[in-house]
Amino acid sequence: MWGRVVEIMTAVWLAASPFVFQVQGSDSFVLIDSLVALLIVILSGLSYWHPTRHAHLLILVVATGLTLWGRFAELPPPPIHQNHIVVGLFLLMIAIIPNAASRPPLAWRSSAGSH
């Protein structure tokens, strides 16, 4: 589940970003970044539960939105939006990593001939 752990760590960075990039005076940045970070944590967390194990794939949608917001909200993108682009692209890579990625998929963990 290291992919999910990295997603949660990235969400923490995203929530802290308005303070790192010194735009904490803007309520919208603090609110949106916090909500997006919370959404990422929820989706990653749900991936630990078997019935919702594919929830992390929804982060692809969130990451695409974050990247597009960062790229087009202001031209040229200020540092906070460049951070959104970088975080969004990074999450696109991480979100596709399967749970228990270092082990074979479930279908292949069964013994040969028993399927």
Q: Which residues bind other proteins (CB under 8 A)?
A: 3, 70-71, 76-77, 79, 81-82, 85-86, 89-90, 93-94, 96-98, 101-105, 107-112, 114-115
Q: How far is the CB of 77 from other proteins (least distance, A)?
A: 5
Which has the closest alpha carbon to 56: 13, 17, 107, 10? 10
Q: Identity (one letter) of the amino acid at 14?
A: L
Q: Alpha helix (H) ranges present in the chain?
A: 2-20, 27-46, 59-72, 79-95, 106-109
Q: For residues 17 and 79, what is the distance between their CA atoms, to the nearest angstrom?
A: 10
Tokens of 83: 């951070």
**Residue 90 near residue 41, CB atoms below 8 Å:** no
Q: How far is the CB of 101 from other proteins (least distance, A)?
A: 4
Judged by CB, which is closer to other proteins: 7, or 33? 7
Judged by CB, which is closer to other proteins: 21, or 39? 21
Judged by CB, which is closer to other proteins: 38, or 96? 96
Q: How far is the CB of 61 from other proteins (least distance, A)?
A: 18
